[in-house]
Structure 1
Amino acid sequence: MRFDIFGKALRVLMPALCAALLLPACAAKETAEAPPGMGVTVNLRDVHRCSRISPEITVDQAPKGTDYFDVHLVEYTGDSQELLLGGGTWDSDGSGTIPEGGLTRHYRGPCPPSGQARDFAFVVAAMHRGSMQPLAVRLHRFTQE
């Protein structure tokens, strides 16, 4: 009988205990500001539409130790799929600029069907040659029609 009472009390108190432990962590996460960091700007022009010529990409405040940038263009389709449209890598020279045409790994620019808008994103990762883990990753999302 004691175990019955203990079991019922445990079933009632366990969710409350879990909630009490998780609430402070959630509250701290909501109030914390995102640290300043890497930013990405893409100079996308009409010449880049349906083209193998990649746009100029500027990376601001790349983390220390960045040896190269790994860049991918992704298309978000209407059925919750992501299509990789290629990309490439670019050795960091400290300027933070990936020049126009610098991405060559099977790159194909955004090319939605005529009259349809599609969502795309450039995914830029700052990488160090000694690690496969990115130092920072940023997305530049846009819609192309």
Structure 2
Amino acid sequence: MEQRLTDEERLTIKTGAFGAVFLVSNADPGVLGVIRESIAASGALADASGAVKEALTTGPLPWLPRDSQLEIESVVLPALRQAVLILRDKSPSDVEAYRSVVLTAADRVARAHDGIAASEAAAIDQIRVALSEPT
């Protein structure tokens, strides 16, 4: 049985998803790729459904640090882990959909400009680990 998400839970889910995109984009920064990356990510995130879509399309935009990759990681990776726990508890049927949407968006961002750089691949690996079930 699915339960309604709180505003805080929706923001955590959104922080994880949008933050994952930003984490990959920031891993190999460049002005020319930003527009292509944004379009690529928005297409993937728009494919969300159910509780994930609700979380991604309602409420305020999440705050993400902009100073360093480590600071971004310190916000995004815990948000991804928490989002999986929230969905597992409140909307188990959406856990796999969330993982898929986030990883697809991250992959599309990485591929949007000149292929996947090693730093982008490393960021995607971090995202994949954060989205895995806790042991």
Q: Do the structures match in fold with TM over 0.5? A: no
Instruction: Pick the structure with greater CA Rg.
Output: 1
TM tier, smaller: under 0.3
TM norm structure 2: 0.28
What TM-score comes out, normalization by structure 1 length?
Answer: 0.26
- Looking at both structures, which has the greater relative contact order when contacts are Cα pairs under 8 Å and sequence separation is at least 6? 2
- Counting strand residues as a fraction of each chain, which structure ranks higher? 1
Structure with the higher fraction of residues in helix conformation? 2
